[in-house]
Every structure is written in structure tokens, then in C-alpha cells.
Amino acid sequence: MRGRGDRVRLFENDLFEWLSRVHPLTPLLLWMPLIAALLWRTLTLHRLQSEVAAAVAVAGLLVWSLTEYLVHRFLFHHEATSSVGRRLQFIVHGVHHDAPDDPTRLLMPPAPMTAGFAILYGLFRIALGPGLVEPFSAGFLVGYLIYDYLHFAIHRTRPRIRLVRCLRRRHMLHHFVTPDARWRVTSALWDSVFRTTGN
């Protein structure tokens, strides 16, 4: 394990290296305007009742929680067999396990998150239609921001709130004891459902 704040270089190209690192304000500045626009359009353009919009946004938040689990378990920890696959897996998530306290690698870089969200938004629109996709996507993105900033806080602070201390302990166990369990950062819900709590 590397010391606190140690950094791993992923790319020889300075631009790619810069794009692979994230300042803590970046996700907030990128996604909050989109969340606000989606909710504004929901209420003004689609004229969805606020209760319906809130329920659909909560559904998006719940879908994010399952997405967080599935992506971490099956994409971030995929056991690649080829050298290209292993390199890609290291770039996507292995670097975080190699240098868990690198403050510039605790949040998802904008480029892959934007591409992933664009694909998911298209699927959500097919499933929900134009009127419901926007509040659903807003809830999904709020869940993502909660995850990103909670993950950052778990690694960079000593939480005072008991719940966050418990989540930090679970996540550190994932890093240092059971990297094949405890996939969720923001709760133990899906780990309990799928029996991957590491007990």
C-alpha cells in the first residue's frame, strides 16, 4: 500500500493523465446544473405534478443504488484475462486500490461518467418516455453525487457521524480485507440482498 496522498501516473501523455484526475468540485459543477435543468423541464415543460416527479426521482435514486453495486462488483472488479483487459481494469478501478488515498482519483472522471450516463439516459428514455426520463435521471444523478462525495469523505476525512463511520469501516474492509465483498459504498442494502457482506 502507498502512503496517504501518494499518486500513481496512469498515462505518459500529459493530457490523458490530466483528464484521468478529478478536482473535488468537478462533479458538483458538472452535474448539478444538469440535475436542475432536468427538474425544471419536468415541472415546466412536461408539467408533471410535483408528487409524481418526486416519486419518479426517488425511483431513479433507487436504481442508482443498484447500479452502484453492479458496476463496482462486475465492472470495476472484473477479472480480466488479457493484458489489455488487465490494463483497462487497472485504469478504471485498480489504480484506486493501488493508491486508495490519492485525492485526485477518488471521484469518477467526467469523460467516462458522461459517456456512461449518455448511454443509460438513452435506455431510460426508451423505458420511461420523454416525460418521466428527466425526473428519473435527476434522481439517478443525485444518487451518483451522494456516492461520489461520500466515497471522497470516507477516504479523506475522519467522519464524526456514526453512520458514515460505519460506512467507512465497511469500505476499508473492502479495500484491505475482503476485496471480493462489500461492493456498495453508500449502504449495505444490495450486499445484504445478494449476500456479499463479507461475513
Q: List CB contacts of 66: < 8 A, sequence separation 6 or more.
A: 190
pTM higher than the cut 0.85: yes
Residue 136: strand, helix, or coil: helix
Extended beta strands in 106-149, E state: none
Angle at 144 between CA 148 and CA 50, to 5 degrees: 140
State the Cα–Cα distance between residues 4 and 37, nearest whole angstrom.
38
* Mean pLDDT score of the chain: 91
Please indicate whether residue 142 or residue 101 has the higher confidence score (pLDDT): 142
Distance of CA 179 to the CA centre of its chain: 17
Domain ranges, residue 72:
14-193
Confidence of residue 94 (pLDDT cuts 50, 70, 90): confident
C-alpha to C-alpha distance for 40 and 125, rounded to whole angstroms: 17
- pLDDT, tens digit, 9 for 90 and up, residues 103-130: 888 888 998 999 999 999 999 999 999 9
Question: Does 45 reside within a domain?
Answer: yes
Please answer whether residues 22 and 104 qualify as being in contact, where contact means their C-beta atoms are separated by less than 8 angstroms: yes
Residue 2 in this model has a pLDDT that exceeds 80:
no
> How confident is residue 55, by pLDDT bands cut at 50, 70 and 90?
very high
* 70 has pLDDT over 90: yes
Count of domains observed in the chain? 1
Q: Considering the domain boundaries, does residue 71 fall inside one? A: yes
pLDDT band at 78 (very low <50, low <70, confident <90, very high): confident
DSSP letter for 11, please.
-
- The distance from CA 111 to its chain's CA centroid, rounded to whole angstroms, is 13
Q: Do 131 and 143 touch, CB atoms closer than 8 A?
A: no
> Which DSSP state fits 17?
H
Q: What's residue 97's pLDDT?
A: 86
pLDDT at residue 159 tops 90: no
Whether 18 maps to a domain, the answer reads yes
Residue 1 has pLDDT above 60, yes or no: no
Residue 5 lies in a domain: no
Does any domain span residue 4?
Answer: no
Residues 134-146 have a mean pLDDT of: 97
Let me know if residue 36 belongs to a domain.
yes
